[in-house]
A and B are shown apart, each in its own frame.
Chain A
């Protein structure tokens, strides 16, 4: 079956603009995760959904970042008033139930560049 997909693959925006990044998890996976990866670093956790609810949003860096998963499938990561420091690759992952027992499968990522 299809893996995790993310759109767009690349996004270039100007400082101060609003962006939305989309993640389509593997069908039937209840758990969904967002991570952010800067150059030369490992991915860093942002937020975790179990179904429609955010079970852990402790990794969101500030209130400019927000994510939703209204129907328990597709998720959107929203960034307001973008800053140059937001430039990174945003990765989405899903697992069938819980990351503590099941493999997390990652999408190809969205490369965000803030000019």
Chain B
């Protein structure tokens, strides 16, 4: 059974800082790994999708990497802004099973002006 863990649970940084959010998963046989953003009381917004054959994906100030062999993914946020404050969730779909996403509990990020 796939288990996804995110560290840290919460992170507070000053505006402008570069930061890394970590995600680990127990079963490396995945189809893909997806990073989401969730604002309070809102649904999830997809940020980046990394297929199992890929090592990283980039979108603007965001860069996500995937290392299947070690069961890890990182989300790098450059030059953080107060508008980046949200909860960031990672999730994966495991091969040989359903098409369901298995989520971590998320990292709550606060960027202070």
Interface residues of A in 39-88 (CB under 8 A from B): 40-45, 48, 50, 55-56, 58-59
Q: Using an 8 Å CB-CB cutoff, how does the interface string of B50-90 with A read, 1 for contact, 0 for none?
A: 01000000000000000000000000000000000000010
Pick the contact of A42: B31, B51, B89, B93 (CB < 8 A): B89
Pairwise interchain contact B42-A99, C-beta atoms closer than 8 A: no
Number of A positions contacting B (CB below 8 A): 30
Pairwise interchain contact A48-B46, C-beta atoms closer than 8 A: no
Q: Using an 8 Å CB-CB cutoff, how does the interface string of A86-115 with B read, 1 for contact, 0 for none?
A: 000001010100111101111111000000
- The CB with the most chain B CB atoms within 10 A, among A48, A100, A103, is that of A100
Pairwise interchain contact B99-A43, C-beta atoms closer than 8 A: no
Pairwise interchain contact B105-A99, C-beta atoms closer than 8 A: no
Pairwise interchain contact B91-A58, C-beta atoms closer than 8 A: no
Pairwise interchain contact A100-B32, C-beta atoms closer than 8 A: yes
Pairwise interchain contact B32-A108, C-beta atoms closer than 8 A: no
Residues in chain B within 8 A of chain A (CB atoms): 4, 31-32, 34, 36, 42-46, 49, 51, 89, 91, 93, 95, 98-106
